[in-house]
Structure 1
Amino acid sequence: MDLRILTEPQFGGTYEDQLAAARTAEASGFDGFFRSDHYLNRTNPSAWPGPTDAWTTLAGLARETTTIRIGTLVTAATLRHPSVLAISAAQVDRMSHGRLDFGLGSGHDEEEHRLYGVPIPAIEERFDLYNEQLEIITGLWTTPAGAQFNFNGKHYTLSGAPALRTPVQSPTPPIIIGGVGKKRTPRLAARFANEFNVIFAGAADAAAQFARVATAARAIGRDPGGIVRSAAVAPAVGRTNGDSMRRLGVIRQFLPWLRSEAEDLGQVIAGSPNHVVDQIGRYREATGITRLYLDLPDVWDLEQIELIASDVKPQLEGT
């Protein structure tokens, strides 16, 4: 079981805060350090400090870490032009010497877009745009040196785009796709994804979505076993019940819509290290995941990162 740290810096984490968390995760032996791609603090939109940019942050982390994989879970297709995003991501992959995992989603936070003046189309059009972005980004990444890339779509047209300075990883960095859509999302994952992720999904819902992705992959002749199954949950791990409850309170503060284990395993895992290992094990058995992202809205809680590394991670290695 791969364990990765996922942070939510829109709740106030500065670049320095994220760097400290990334270095702690790397020193503790985690497989990856990821961040959300949001600009709006949902629980307190006027909170200070303000937002940081995901790709600017990743560029910095690429140079200030050495072994841990980095990426977004996930970048919103609505926030950036695909050509610009392809160039940025390829550069981050080179700056990190091939440690980037590229997560891309359709975008969903309408209020965030409205407040910052970024257009966001209706869901059907958004998925058309999302599909075209995947076509363009992967097309630009795989265009041979000296050649040109052309694309004529409903939302984007590229005519004679010169080949990029391509990513280190060939043919592309691992591509992460996620979401709950029952038709188009699995089809996109079957075509493009190296990993399919569900975030804050109950075990039954996650298993059903993974099955849809597998069906879509087989329909185009792809082995679904080549698509990593991953999930993201919010942890509240403590050596004492008081520590766990305090961390659960932080989750309730920032992510109040999440449900506890008793209501729906797969959103919040809480309790002692041994209890959390049991929860992860039951979720893994029900869903078939081999990678888990631990979503820490409290990017400053380095102690929990170290606790999970010392008391939870060793029990999951090799499972």
Structure 2
Amino acid sequence: MGAEFGIYLPPVALGFDAILAKALDCERLGYHSLWLYDHLYPPGLPEVPSFEAWTLATALLARTTTLRVGHLVTSNTFRHPALLAKMATSVDVLSGGRLEFGIGSGSHEEEHRRAGLGWGSSAERGERLGEALEIITGMFRGATMSFDGKHFTVRDLPNLPAPAQPGGPPVHIGGVGPKYTLPLVARYADVWNVPTYALGRIAGLSRALDAECEKAGRDPATIRRSVEAVLTIAPEERLDEAVRRARRHYGDPGYGMEEGGFTGTPRRIIDRIGELVEAGISSFVFFTHDRASAETLELFARDVAPHFSGPA
């Protein structure tokens, strides 16, 4: 009963040396991946320093050797898909095939307004994401790409060198919307990221995705399931303090801290992960309550991860 574990680290008010130290801790301790966000500034905190997502990922991959790095998620609204595919391909080659590619339709209107970037309705952003994925996945396959869409057009565009990973970096798409998201997952995703708030509905949502896969002519077993959630882990005598700290940072309902259930001693966390592995989740990406301190990373790697070291 195997699973992969990654750490989500919003690069908010952290210098590069601190971020790199956490990445190297993850690599040393055997974590599968490190994940960043893609924003022009921390949402709601425009005065707080934060690095550009792809520049930071490239720097981290250049200074690590086994750790995989990705974004949950790249905003499709920030870059033309042809440029983004070329960027991702280049990073994949330069890192020896260690890029994970997460993409979404955009999540914070205010930063778009400040930057003079187009926003649009949910339907429009969903359309743009679908067209972008057609271009990006086509370029990942190494084909000379032509596409004529409502929002994007490319003509006889090469993508050489091809990605280091055959077929390109794994494509992660998150969300559970039946109208826009699940059809895109069925058509393009290698990994479906299930929001924490939807974990209580995982069985029904999996059936809905299976139905979309049938429409797309795809075997649903080829799509791995992942979850991104808040992890509050500590020995019993320090758990209350850890929970208070987690709620200060991640108490907003959008983080799904209560729904996720990843709160407790290592034994409790093992049990919760085990439940979700049985439900088909094979990849877990955690915000830790203390922003990936070395102590917490070591506790999880020592007392939890070895219980799920079989094939994912």
User: TM-score, normalising length from structure 1?
Assistant: 0.89
Deviations 1:125-174 (A, max 9, x none): 00111011101112223244xxx422111111112323332211112111
Q: Which amino acid aligns with 2:94?
A: M
Match of 1:93 in 2: 92
Match among 273, 281, 295 for residue 266 of structure 2: 273
Q: Which amino acid aligns with 1:246?
A: E
Match among 3, 6, 21 for residue 8 of structure 2: 6
Distance 1:120 1:12 in 2: 26
Residues 117-132 of structure 1: pairs in structure 2 closer than 5 A: 117-132=116-131
Match of 2:60 in 1: 61
Distance 1:198 1:40 in 2: 25
Q: Which amino acid aligns with 1:276?
A: I
Residues 299-310 of structure 1: pairs in structure 2 closer than 5 A: 299=291, 301-310=293-302
Q: Is the 8 A contact 2:61 2:67 kept in 1?
A: no
Distance 1:97 1:13 in 2: 27
Matched, 1:169 2:161: no
Residues 148-163 of structure 1: pairs in structure 2 closer than 5 A: 148-163=144-159
Give the secondary-structure state (helix, strand or coil) at the position aligned to 1:290: strand
Residues 203-214 of structure 1: pairs in structure 2 closer than 5 A: 203-214=199-210
Give the secondary-structure state (helix, strand or coil) at the position aligned to 1:87: helix
Match of 1:110 in 2: 109
Q: Is the 8 A contact 2:191 2:223 kept in 1?
A: yes
Identity across the alignment (%): 35
Q: Is the 8 A contact 1:91 1:167 kept in 2?
A: yes
Q: Is the 8 A contact 1:7 1:298 kept in 2?
A: no
Q: Which amino acid aligns with 2:294?
A: L
CA shift for structure 1 position 220: 2.4
Greater alpha carbon shift after TM alignment, 112-121 vs 309-318: 112-121
Q: Is the 8 A contact 1:76 1:104 kept in 2?
A: yes
Distance 1:261 1:129 in 2: 28
Distance 2:136 2:118 in 1: 20
CA shift for structure 1 position 227: 0.6
CA shift for structure 1 position 105: 0.9
Deviations 1:64-105 (A, max 9, x none): 111122111111111111111111111110111011111111
Q: Is the 8 A contact 2:233 2:296 kept in 1?
A: yes
Q: 1:106 to 1:226 in 2, by over 3 A?
A: same
User: TM-score, normalising length from structure 2?
Assistant: 0.91
Unpaired runs of 5+ in structure 1?
none
Distance 1:210 1:194 in 2: 15
Q: 1:75 to 1:24 in 2, by over 3 A?
A: same
Distance 1:33 1:301 in 2: 14
Match among 254, 276, 287 for residue 295 of structure 1: 287
Q: Which amino acid aligns with 2:28?
A: A
Alignment size in residue pairs: 309
Distance 1:74 1:42 in 2: 14
Match among 248, 251, 259 for residue 256 of structure 1: 251
Residues 141-152 of structure 1: pairs in structure 2 closer than 5 A: 141-144=140-143, 148-152=144-148
Distance 1:260 1:188 in 2: 23
CA shift for structure 1 position 4: 1.2
Give the secondary-structure state (helix, strand or coil) at the position aligned to 1:119: coil
Match of 2:74 in 1: 75
CA shift for structure 1 position 259: 8.1
Unpaired runs of 5+ in structure 2?
none
Give the secondary-structure state (helix, strand or coil) at the position aligned to 1:38: coil
CA RMSD of aligned residues (A): 2.2
Give the secondary-structure state (helix, strand or coil) at the position aligned to 1:211: helix
Q: Is the 8 A contact 1:150 1:161 kept in 2?
A: yes
Residues 211-226 of structure 1: pairs in structure 2 closer than 5 A: 211-226=207-222
Q: Is the 8 A contact 1:106 1:127 kept in 2?
A: yes
Distance 2:242 2:16 in 1: 22
Distance 2:257 2:187 in 1: 36
CA shift for structure 1 position 262: 9.5
Q: 1:279 to 1:32 in 2, by over 3 A?
A: same
Runs of 4+ aligned residues of structure 1 deviating over 6 Å after TM superposition are 259-262
